[in-house]
Structure 1
Amino acid sequence: MILSSIKGILFDKDGTLVDFQATWFAIGDLLALQAAGGDRARADALMEAAGYDFGKKCFKADSVFAAGTNADIVALWYPDAAAEDRRKMTIGFDQFTAEEGARQSVPLPGSQDAIARLHRLGFRLGVATNDSTGGAEKTLLALGVAQMFDAAYGYDAVANPKPAPDAIYAFSDLTGLKPSEIAMVGDNRHDMEMARAGGVGLAIAVLSGTGTRETLAPMADVVLDSIADLPGFLAARNVA
């Protein structure tokens, strides 16, 4: 791991830039109620199947809702639907979550300042998320940081979403950086698996989302509390 070679940073969105729990429970619950035809008990069961722990009031690490795509959620909640119906429902999920996710997005403490500092230091910045591309772009606008990012890659912007490394290669092609010059930052194992598969120079896990130190540390080069610590981490090692 040669930290001085890092010139670009690719961020996960939910749990890394945005408070996942605060932003997404109400949105997911509304979609679950719709899928359950208004049946509260059935909606709760769907939320549990997607990874929500009602006892702890949070989404579980690496669950479908925490790490999957809208297509994954549709497939889970509508297992008997025909392929074309699922495709149409996924488009509807993408549109709804893009609007509501941006409108209700809660930035993690210190994330906007950290992004601004990293941008000033000259790092090329991107987002790789299993949300839709439209959702990612709208959220960056809502957070007031869109102008600092070169690109946002949702699951629908690449042939294969996380944990496949497609977004890393797309960001590399766009910026002219080698994967070894890119750091991947995320809160889920999918993020770390993508980092390893894509050959990035630095895999950074953050504990601000659904992942835990136990689930993330085995695949990460470093584990930070949140991206608020990232500029200081890099500066302390003579990168910034």
Structure 2
Amino acid sequence: MSDLRGIKGILFDKDGTLVDFQATWFAIGEMMALKAADGDQAQATALMKAAGYDFSAHCFKADSVFAAGTNADIVALWYPGATDSERSDLIRMFDQVSAEQGSAKAVPLPGSKDALASLHSAGFRLGVATNDSTGGAEKTLLSLGIAQLFDAAYGYDAVANPKPAPDAIHAFSDLTGLKPKEIAMVGDNRHDLEMAKAGGALAIAVLSGTGTRESLTPMADVVLDSIADLPAYLAREA
């Protein structure tokens, strides 16, 4: 196990880490796919599969476009013939839909609120780094009643380069005055762990989202079932 005694700040991925990804996003993804398919259910199903939904397992695949990508990635996949102007309009529309619907339908993972409150009370600086939009992340934190626990939320549109680039780690470091080695990045996808490694932060994997133990362990310094286990783990390592 890695030594976490120097950790003073924690960046969390949002979907699959704070929020139940499957419960929150399938209906929203299907709605967006139906719009992209002009109401054709068969085409919408094909788009969902292309974006990473496994209909036989009833879940999103680990590291798929929908699980780990941005709305820009989804637009590029679903609208390959769009012009630059059309693509920009579509991204804005997807950002608005995902921000409004994602926050309204957000299902917190069991124990996540208590864990975050405990970490905040213990003095850890907390942030969110997501490939959702910044507005979507902020709305979700507000709807879950946990926004006051966080110093900042960084969406893909808040930094020059989204995950797996380390830009959000650098931004959080600048904001808090913490060194990257004093920051842990917690997430359920390889993108999260790759960002941690690229930014010099500690990589903590959780198995509460789309990632599996097999897909995450090679990149992780620590693997936990969920963030509900994080306060006790950090206290034990202190």
Alignment TM class, shorter chain as reference: over 0.9
- % identical aligned pairs: 77
In the superposition, the TM-score normalised over structure 1's length comes to 0.98
User: Match for residue 80 of structure 2?
Assistant: 79
User: Match for residue 36 of structure 1?
Assistant: 37
C-alpha displacement of 1:237: 1.2
1:45 paired with 2:60, answer: no
- Structure 1 runs of 4+ aligned residues shifted over 4 Å read none
Q: Using the alignment, how far apart are the partners of 2:101 and 2:41 within structure 1?
A: 21
Q: Using the alignment, how far apart are the partners of 1:143 and 1:190 within structure 2?
A: 24
Q: Using the alignment, how far apart are the partners of 1:2 and 1:206 within structure 2?
A: 17
C-alpha displacement of 1:60: 0.1
Q: Using the alignment, how far apart are the partners of 1:237 and 1:149 within structure 2?
A: 23
Q: Using the alignment, how far apart are the partners of 1:189 and 1:199 within structure 2?
A: 15
C-alpha displacement of 1:136: 0.2
Name the amino acid aligned to 1:52: Y
Name the amino acid aligned to 2:39: G
Could you tell me whether the CA contact under 8 Å between 2:3 and 2:237 is conserved in 1? no
Q: Using the alignment, how far apart are the partners of 2:98 and 2:115 within structure 1?
A: 25
Match of 1:10, SS state, is strand
User: Match for residue 15 of structure 2?
Assistant: 14
User: Match for residue 237 of structure 2?
Assistant: 237
Q: Using the alignment, how far apart are the partners of 1:84 and 1:218 within structure 2?
A: 40
Could you tell me whether the CA contact under 8 Å between 2:134 and 2:155 is conserved in 1? yes
Q: Using the alignment, how far apart are the partners of 1:163 and 1:169 within structure 2?
A: 13
User: Match for residue 146 of structure 2?
Assistant: 145
1:58 paired with 2:68, answer: no
Unaligned runs of 5+ in 1: none
User: Match for residue 68 of structure 1?
Assistant: 69
Aligned alpha-carbon RMSD (Å):
0.5
User: Match for residue 226 of structure 2?
Assistant: 226
C-alpha displacement of 1:42: 0.3
User: Match for residue 217 of structure 1?
Assistant: 217
C-alpha displacement of 1:63: 0.1
Q: Using the alignment, how far apart are the partners of 2:130 and 2:104 within structure 1?
A: 17
Q: Using the alignment, how far apart are the partners of 1:81 and 1:40 within structure 2?
A: 21
Match of 1:3, SS state, is coil
1:82-93 equivalence runs, <5 A: 82-93=83-94
Q: Using the alignment, how far apart are the partners of 1:178 and 1:2 within structure 2?
A: 16
Name the amino acid aligned to 1:135: G
Name the amino acid aligned to 1:204: I
Name the amino acid aligned to 1:60: K
Match of 1:152, SS state, is strand
C-alpha displacement of 1:4: 1.2
User: Match for residue 171 of structure 1?
Assistant: 172
Name the amino acid aligned to 2:13: D
In the superposition, the TM-score normalised over structure 2's length comes to 0.99
Match of 1:112, SS state, is helix
1:204 paired with 2:223, answer: no
C-alpha displacement of 1:2: 3.6
User: Match for residue 96 of structure 2?
Assistant: 95
